[in-house]
Chain A
Amino acid sequence: MCKALIAPLAVAIAACLASAAALADSSDSARVGDIQYGNALDPTGWAPLLWPDPRGFSWLHAGMMRTPSGVLYPYPPQRDDQGSPLYKDSDWVYGGFLQAGWLHLSGDTRAEFFRQYAGWKSGIALGLLALYADNPKTGQYVEFRGSRLSGDDQYYRLRAGQYGNYKIEAFWRVIPHDVTTDAYPLWNGVGSTNLTLPAPLVPGGSTPAQVAAVEKTRPRQTIGLTRRRAGLSFEDKLWGNWIGYVSVVNEKRTGTRLWGGSMFFNYVLPDNGGILETVRPIDFSTTDIGMGLRNVGNVWQFQLTYTGSFFRNHKDRLDFQSPFQLSNVAGVPQVANIYQGQFSLEPDNDYHNLRLELSRDLKWNGHLSVAAAWGTMRQNDALLPPVTCTGTGGVFISPSANYTFDCADWNTTAALSQKTADARIDTGLFDVKAVFHPTPKFGWHAGIRWYREDNKTNYLAFNPLTGQYGYISENGSQGSVVPGEVGIFDPRNPLYWSYVTQVRAIPFGYTDSILDTGIDWRVSEADTLNLSWSFDRNQPKYRERKLVNEQRIKLAWVDRALGKGTLRFSYEFAHRDGGPYNYDPYQPFYSTALPGFVTPPLGNAAFTTDAMRKYDLSNRIEHKLRAIVIYPIGDTATISGVVYATRDNYGAALGRQATRNRGVSLAWDWQPSPATSMSANLGRDDSRLQFSNVNDFENLLGQAGRDNPAFGGPLYPFANQWADDDRERDYNAGLTLRHDFGRVRADLGYTYTYALGKLGYVFASPGALSTTQQPFVATVGNGFPDNHYHINTLQLGFDLAFTRTLGMRVFDIFETGNFADWHYLGLQNSLVIDHKVYTDLGPHPHYRANLLGMMLNLKL
C-alpha cells in the first residue's frame, strides 16, 4: 500500500529533476548556513535509521575499525540490503522511512529553556519522513527528508542529482527562537511599529503607581521570532573540469524582541526621566545569492565566487509612548511635552562579495594559493527626523538663558543635512600562501594576508533650518530635564557654542596585514612537530591606537606512539603591543573640531581618563595550551579527553586586566557489540575575568581640574578606583546507553549542565560608587548574588518492532531547570520601579517539563 503511494511520488520527483537539467548545489562545506537539518527531537535528522546492523561491519573481523586517530566508528546502521524497484524492470530502486505520531507536553512547558529553540507542541508530529531513490546504472539519485514538530519547527529537504555531474538542493525550514516566555509588555501594539499606552494611562502624565497598577493586568506574552527559510541551489559540471553553481536562499524572519526606550536617567533623578523596556518588531526578509565557477585541474585549481545578500527590514522604526512626566532640574518649573520616543530600526542593506582563488601545485611537493576578494556593503535608507515631539522642549530659565527648542525645527527631515544615509563600507582581501614538502620529513609554509575595511560613510549632523549642529538627545528628554543638555552646538549662540556633541559619523575601518611562516618536521614515524610564527599588524582608523602589532609563536606536537593513542598538543605564546594610545581619538568628529567652538574657561570636561586601555587594542601577553588525547581501550572502547588553559594579561591599569580559562573534558565510548553501545562524558571549565575602572569625581565638573584626564588626578582620583572579578565554573556530564534486545530496542540519555557565576567587586573608597549608592556603602558587601543555570534532561525511549516494516517508538523526555540571574532579581515583585518599566521577568527560576511521545515507525 505504502509502496504504491511512494512509487508515483518518487517518479514524479525524478521526472521533475530530469526536466531541471542544469541545476546544482553550492559548494557544500564552503557554504555558510543550512548545512544541518534536525530538531530538538532528533538533532541528527537521521536517528530512526541509525540502529546498528546486528551483523556488524565485516565477516572478517569482530568489532569496528577505528579512525586514524583512534576513535571507533559506530556500527553501520541496519538497512535493507537493497531497495525496491521503482516499477517493474526499472533501474531505479527506492526505500524510505516514516516516523509519525503524537507528542504530549506537561508541566512548565512554557519554560524558556525548555523551548528556546524547540517548537514543542502537543499534537501530531512528524518525526522523520525519509525517501530515497537511486539508479545504480546512471548514478542518479533523489533524497528527501523532513520533520515537523509544529508549525514553528519543521524542515523539508530535497537533494538530487547525478554523482559527480550535477546536484540540486531545495529546502524549506522553520526555526523557532523564544527569547523569553515570561514577558508582560505594558504597551498595546506589540509586534507593530507603534507602541501605545493602554487606558487609563496618559502619555507623559501617569504616575508610577498608576503604571504599576496597569502593568499587573497585562497578559503574559512570549517574545521570540521565527525564521522561515527556503532555498534552491544547483551545481553542474559545465564542460571539461569546469563546474558552476548558483544558489538562492530567502529568509523571512518575524516576531518580536525585547528592546529599550530612554527618556533620560531615573536612577539619579527620582520621579523623573524614563527607562522603558519596550518590545520591537522583527519583520525581516533576506535574500542570499551565491554563484561560483571552479576548475580543478591536475596542476591548477581556480575558483571564482560571488556572494550577494540583500536584507530588507519591513519595519524600519519603533515609536513608543512614555507614561511618565519629565520635569526640569533647574530653571522655571515646567513640564515638557516630551513623551514620544522613537528608534530607527536596522536599515535595508545590500552586500556583494567577489572572490577569486587560484592554486597551483609546485615542485618540491609544493602548493601555492593566491586569493583576492572585493566586497561592499551599502545602505541608503531614508533617514528619520531627529525627533518626533511636538511643541516646545527644553528648559526656560530666563530670556538670556532660554534652553528651549522648537520641536518643529527638528521633527522634519528638512532638519537634516542629507535625506538618506548613503552609508558604504568596501572591503578588500589579498591572501597568498605557499607550502612545500621537499621531503616526507620536512615541510615549510609561508603566507601573507592583507585585509582592509574602508568605511566611506560621511554624515554631518547639521540642521539647515536652525543652522545648528548636533542632534536632539534622547527624544528631547535630556534637554528638557537638564538645561542646555539638548545635544546641539551653535557657534552663534553663547548658550551652545561650548557644548560638546558629536557632529559627524565616525567611519571606523581598519587594515590588517598578517605574515606567517612555519615548519613541519616529522621527527619519527609517529611524531610530528610544527613550529609557526605570525606577525599581525592591525591599523585601525579613528581608534585609540593607529597601530597594533601582535606576534604569535605556536608549537604543535602530534604523537601517535602514546600506546595506541593519539596526542595532539599545542602551545601558543602571543605578545601584543602597538603605537601610542590616544585616550580620546574622536575629537575630529565632535563640535570641538568645528569653527566657532569656544572652549570654556575651565576647559572641557575630560572625555575619559588617560589610563583606560580598551582591551581589543591594549597590550597583551597570551599563553594558550591545549592537549587532545584519544586512547583506545581494547577493541571496544575509547577514552578521549581535552585539557586546555588560556592566560591573558593585559597591560592596563584600567580596563580589562586579565583573563584565565582552564578546563578538562573526558569522554568514554564503549560499543561491545552492534547491539549495545554506551558513552559517558564529564567536563569542567573554570574561567575568570578581571577588570578595573575609576569613577570620576563628579563634584569637580563645575570646577577647575575637570579637564584633567590623568588617572590619579583630581577628576579621576586613585581613591575612586574599583575592580570587578567575574568567575564562572561550568560542569557538564552526559550519558547515553542503547541496547537492542531484538524486538525491543531501548535507549537512555541523560545530560547535566550546571553553571555557577560569581561576580565580586572591590573599591578603594566609597567614591568609587555611584552617588546614589554611596549612602549604602556599608551594606553593599563585595559581590552580587551568585548566578546559576542548572539543567537536567533525562530521555528514555523504546523502539518496538511489530513486523519487518512496522514498529513503534515510545519515549519520554523529562527536564528540570533552576535558574538565577541578579539582573532580574526583584522584578517578580513589580515590573515598575519608579520611572522604570520592565517587560521581562527573566527565565523561570524553577521548572519541570515533560514530553511524552508515541510514534509509529513504518519502513517504506
Chain B
Amino acid sequence: MRVVHLPFAAALLVLSALTGAFVVVQRAGAQVAHPTASSGTLTEQDFHRILPTGAAQAATGTGPHAGAMPASALTTEDFRRMLPRTDMRTDTDATGHAPVHAFLANGPATPFDSAPIAKNPLAPDAVAVGAKTCIACHALENVHASHSLHLAAFRAGAAGTGPDAACETCHGRGSAHAKDPTGPGLIIAFTRDAKTPIETQTGVCLSCHKGGARQDWIGSVHQERGLACTDCHNPMARLSAEGVLANNSINQVCSTCHQDIRDKFNRRSHMPLPEGQISCADCHNPHGTLTADLIKTDTVNETCYTCHAEKRGPFLFEHAPVRENCLTCHDPHGSNQQALLVLPVPMLCQQCHTMTLHPNDLQTIAGLATGQAPDERLIGRACLSCHTNIHGSNNPSGSRFHK
C-alpha cells in the first residue's frame, strides 16, 4: 500500500481546520466527532476541492505525484499548527488519562467506556489526540468503519468516556503520528507494511478480547505461525455478515491459507460448507483450543456428535475404531467416496478385517453387478448391506452390527 502522502495530508488538515469542516457534537458532556454528514466527514468533492490537482490525483492513485513529497517537507511545528483542535476536553486529558464525565457518575454506560488505550512501544511518549484529529485525515476510513459493529462499539464507548476511547483505543495515542504521519511505527497499525510488531497488534486486540474463545490463543498453532488478528479480521469495514472478518465469509478467510481444504469440500461427499450452511469455525476454533487441530471439544468425536448426536450412544455393542475416532474411517473435509469415507467399501473394512471366512476375500470386477458372480460384499453399500449398524448396535443380537 502507499503511505500517507504528506502534501495531501497537510493540505487536508489545514483546509479542514480553516473551513470548520468538522462539527463537534456535544453529548452528555463529551465532545465527539460523530460520523454524520453534518459532522464534517469530507466528501469526495471536498477532497478534490481542497487539494491541489496533483495531490488529489496522488491520493487517488491516479496522478504522477503519489508519494512524491518527502516527510521533511513539513516540520513538526507545521503539523502542530495545521492539525485541528483536538476534541479532547482539556490539555490534561491529552496526556492520556481518560476524563471522568458526569455521565459516568453512576457507572459506565457500556463496558467500552472503560476500554484501555493501547500502548505503542514505538511511540511511548505520544499523547491522545481524539477522534476528531484522526478523522481529519481518515475521513473515508471513518465512514467505512462506522458500518462495522466493532467500531460502533468504540464510538458508543467514546460517547461516555471521551474521544480518545474511539480510534486510539486500538491504534494508540496519536500525537506522534499526527505530527509525523509517515513516521514508521508511530501509530499502531495492523496491516502488511506496519512496523508494529505482530505481538503488539495481537496484544491490542486481546486487551479486550482476552479469555473466552481466545483463552487458548497463546501457544495455539496460529499464534505460533505468526498470524495476526487482522490476518483474519478487519474491523475497519463490514466485509462479512458477522465476525468482523477480513473477507466475505469465514470459509473464504480460512481458505486464504487452507486452499487444499477448500478444494476437498468440492468432492463428491462433503459437509454443506460450499453451500454456505456451515463454516470451518463450526468445528474449529481458530483462536486456539485444547487440541492441536483446533477442534472445539475434548475430542474429534465429541465435535462430530454435536451434529450426529445419534452416533454418540453408548451402544450395547461398540465398534472400537468408531468409538475412538471418527477420522479412522471418515475425512470430514470431503471425500470421493460415499459418506466421507477414506476408501471405497469394502476395501475400507478390509484394511483391518482379515477374519476367517468371508471378510478377507479379494474382491474383483467379477463381483460387480455386471460381473459373472455378483457379490453383495461389493455392490451398493457392500459390507454395510449387512453390518448396517456399523456405528454401534443397541440390539441384543447386534454384536456384529447386523441388527
How long is the Cα–Cα vector from A552 to B242 in the complex, in angstroms?
Answer: 37
Q: CB < 8 Å: which of A164, A763, A787 contacts B111?
A: A164
Within 8 A of B (CB), among A392-436: 415-416, 421, 423-425, 427, 429, 431, 433, 435
**In this assembly, does B124 line the interface, its C-beta being within 8 Å of a C-beta of chain A?**
no
Q: Mark B136-164, 1 if CB is under 8 A from A, else 0.
A: 01111101101101001101110100000
The answer to whether A139 and B152 touch across the interface, beta carbons within 8 angstroms, is yes
Residues of A within 8 Å of B370, CB to CB, are 825-826, 829
| Distance between B160 CB and nearest chain A CB, rounded to angstroms | 9
**In this assembly, does B234 line the interface, its C-beta being within 8 Å of a C-beta of chain A?**
yes
**In this assembly, does A801 line the interface, its C-beta being within 8 Å of a C-beta of chain B?**
no
Q: CB < 8 Å: which of A36, A64, A347, A641 contacts B277?
A: A36
The answer to whether A773 and B367 touch across the interface, beta carbons within 8 angstroms, is yes
The answer to whether B112 and A455 touch across the interface, beta carbons within 8 angstroms, is no
Q: Mark A290-308, 1 if CB is under 8 A from B, else 0.
A: 0000111000011100000
Within 8 A of A (CB), among B233-266: 234, 236-243, 246-252, 256-260, 262-264, 266
Residues of B within 8 Å of A644, CB to CB, are 260
The answer to whether B364 and A39 touch across the interface, beta carbons within 8 angstroms, is no
The answer to whether A40 and B59 touch across the interface, beta carbons within 8 angstroms, is no
**In this assembly, does A848 line the interface, its C-beta being within 8 Å of a C-beta of chain B?**
no
The answer to whether A277 and B2 touch across the interface, beta carbons within 8 angstroms, is no
Residues of A within 8 Å of B368, CB to CB, are 784, 822, 825-826
**In this assembly, does B105 line the interface, its C-beta being within 8 Å of a C-beta of chain A?**
no
The stretch from B82-90, B91-99, B308-316 touching chain A is B308-316
Question: With A64-B1, A301-B210, A383-B316 in contact, do A641 and B259 touch (Cβ < 8 Å)?
Answer: yes
Q: CB < 8 Å: which of A39, A113, A267, A770 contacts B276?
A: A39
**In this assembly, does B228 line the interface, its C-beta being within 8 Å of a C-beta of chain A?**
yes
The answer to whether B219 and A776 touch across the interface, beta carbons within 8 angstroms, is no
How long is the Cα–Cα vector from A777 to B12 in the complex, in angstroms?
Answer: 86
Within 8 A of B (CB), among A1-53: 27-40, 42-47, 50, 53
The answer to whether A266 and B316 touch across the interface, beta carbons within 8 angstroms, is no
The answer to whether A243 and B344 touch across the interface, beta carbons within 8 angstroms, is no
Residues of A within 8 Å of B120, CB to CB, are none
Question: With A64-B1, A163-B153, A768-B362 in contact, do A261 and B388 touch (Cβ < 8 Å)?
Answer: yes
Within 8 A of A (CB), among B205-252: 208, 210-213, 215-216, 218-219, 224-228, 230-232, 234, 236-243, 246-252
How long is the Cα–Cα vector from A829 to B234 in the complex, in angstroms?
Answer: 56
The answer to whether A43 and B44 touch across the interface, beta carbons within 8 angstroms, is no
Q: CB < 8 Å: which of A35, A425, A665, A716 contacts B279?
A: A35
Question: With A37-B241, A175-B272, A473-B397 in contact, do A505 and B290 touch (Cβ < 8 Å)?
Answer: no
Give the interface residue-count category, chain B. 35 or more
Q: CB < 8 Å: which of B112, B290, B360 contacts A139?
A: B112
The answer to whether A301 and B276 touch across the interface, beta carbons within 8 angstroms, is no
Within 8 A of A (CB), among B256-290: 256-260, 262-264, 266-268, 272, 274-279, 281-283, 285-287, 290
**In this assembly, does B72 line the interface, its C-beta being within 8 Å of a C-beta of chain A?**
no
Which residue of the partner chain B has the closest CB to A264? B386
The answer to whether A50 and B248 touch across the interface, beta carbons within 8 angstroms, is yes
How long is the Cα–Cα vector from A162 to B338 in the complex, in angstroms?
Answer: 46
The 9 closest A-B pairs by CB, nearest first: A62-B61, A38-B276, A43-B276, A139-B156, A826-B369, A260-B388, A76-B237, A163-B153, A296-B211
The stretch from B125-133, B172-180, B372-380 touching chain A is B372-380
Residues of A within 8 Å of B262, CB to CB, are 665
How long is the Cα–Cα vector from A836 to B232 in the complex, in angstroms?
Answer: 53
Residues of B within 8 Å of A267, CB to CB, are 367, 373-377
| Distance between A83 CB and nearest chain B CB, rounded to angstroms | 9
Within 8 A of B (CB), among A520-543: 520, 528, 530, 540, 542-543
How long is the Cα–Cα vector from A729 to B61 in the complex, in angstroms?
Answer: 45
How long is the Cα–Cα vector from A309 to B290 in the complex, in angstroms?
Answer: 21
**In this assembly, does A288 line the interface, its C-beta being within 8 Å of a C-beta of chain B?**
yes
Residues of B within 8 Å of A761, CB to CB, are 362-364
Q: Mark B372-400, 1 if CB is under 8 A from A, else 0.
A: 11111111111011111101011111111
Given contacts A139-B159, A295-B211, 20 further A-B contacts (CB under 8 A): A35-B281, A36-B251, A50-B239, A62-B62, A65-B191, A116-B272, A138-B109, A286-B309, A288-B306, A344-B394, A359-B215, A447-B219, A608-B355, A632-B192, A640-B256, A701-B356, A730-B264, A770-B362, A780-B364, A780-B366
Q: CB < 8 Å: which of A266, A377, A415, A726 contacts B347?
A: A726
Residues of B within 8 Å of A286, CB to CB, are 309
The answer to whether A691 and B347 touch across the interface, beta carbons within 8 angstroms, is yes
Question: With A351-B312, A781-B365 in contact, do A79 and B347 touch (Cβ < 8 Å)?
Answer: no
**In this assembly, does A568 line the interface, its C-beta being within 8 Å of a C-beta of chain B?**
yes
**In this assembly, does A490 line the interface, its C-beta being within 8 Å of a C-beta of chain B?**
no
The answer to whether B219 and A67 touch across the interface, beta carbons within 8 angstroms, is no
Residues of B within 8 Å of A433, CB to CB, are 216, 219
The answer to whether A45 and B249 touch across the interface, beta carbons within 8 angstroms, is yes
The answer to whether A117 and B277 touch across the interface, beta carbons within 8 angstroms, is yes
Q: Mark B1-45, 1 if CB is under 8 A from A, else 0.
A: 111110011001000000000000001000000111100011010
How long is the Cα–Cα vector from A622 to B355 in the complex, in angstroms?
Answer: 28
**In this assembly, does A582 line the interface, its C-beta being within 8 Å of a C-beta of chain B?**
no
Which residue of the partner chain B has the closest CB to A558? B226
| Distance between A52 CB and nearest chain B CB, rounded to angstroms | 10
The answer to whether A556 and B225 touch across the interface, beta carbons within 8 angstroms, is yes
The answer to whether B320 and A508 touch across the interface, beta carbons within 8 angstroms, is yes
How long is the Cα–Cα vector from A504 to B60 in the complex, in angstroms?
Answer: 77
The answer to whether A471 and B397 touch across the interface, beta carbons within 8 angstroms, is yes
Which residue of the partner chain B has the closest CB to A604? B356
Q: CB < 8 Å: which of B282, B336, B374 contacts A32?
A: B282
Residues of B within 8 Å of A56, CB to CB, are 60, 140
Q: Mark B158-194, 1 if CB is under 8 A from A, else 0.
A: 0100000000000000000000000000000011111
Residues of A within 8 Å of B403, CB to CB, are 342-344, 474-475
How long is the Cα–Cα vector from A435 to B217 in the complex, in angstroms?
Answer: 11
**In this assembly, does B119 line the interface, its C-beta being within 8 Å of a C-beta of chain A?**
no
How long is the Cα–Cα vector from A383 to B43 in the complex, in angstroms?
Answer: 74
The answer to whether B275 and A43 touch across the interface, beta carbons within 8 angstroms, is yes
The answer to whether A76 and B144 touch across the interface, beta carbons within 8 angstroms, is yes
**In this assembly, does B73 line the interface, its C-beta being within 8 Å of a C-beta of chain A?**
no
The answer to whether B256 and A528 touch across the interface, beta carbons within 8 angstroms, is no
How long is the Cα–Cα vector from A606 to B249 in the complex, in angstroms?
Answer: 55
Within 8 A of B (CB), among A69-102: 69-71, 73-74, 76-77, 79, 81-82
The answer to whether A296 and B210 touch across the interface, beta carbons within 8 angstroms, is yes
Q: CB < 8 Å: which of A175, A616, A779, A825 contacts B328?
A: A616
Q: CB < 8 Å: which of A32, A63, A295 contacts B1?
A: A63
The answer to whether A29 and B281 touch across the interface, beta carbons within 8 angstroms, is yes
| Distance between A662 CB and nearest chain B CB, rounded to angstroms | 10
Residues of A within 8 Å of B387, CB to CB, are 260, 262
Residues of B within 8 Å of A628, CB to CB, are 257
The answer to whether B394 and A57 touch across the interface, beta carbons within 8 angstroms, is no
The answer to whether A68 and B198 touch across the interface, beta carbons within 8 angstroms, is yes
The answer to whether A755 and B268 touch across the interface, beta carbons within 8 angstroms, is yes
Question: With A61-B61, A528-B226 in contact, do A343 and B192 touch (Cβ < 8 Å)?
Answer: no
Within 8 A of B (CB), among A633-647: 635, 640-642, 644
Q: CB < 8 Å: which of B149, B285, B393 contacts A30?
A: B285
**In this assembly, does A381 line the interface, its C-beta being within 8 Å of a C-beta of chain B?**
yes
The answer to whether B259 and A726 touch across the interface, beta carbons within 8 angstroms, is no
**In this assembly, does A624 line the interface, its C-beta being within 8 Å of a C-beta of chain B?**
no
Q: CB < 8 Å: which of B111, B218, B276, B402 contacts A40?
A: B276
The answer to whether B218 and A435 touch across the interface, beta carbons within 8 angstroms, is yes
**In this assembly, does B324 line the interface, its C-beta being within 8 Å of a C-beta of chain A?**
yes
The answer to whether B314 and A759 touch across the interface, beta carbons within 8 angstroms, is no
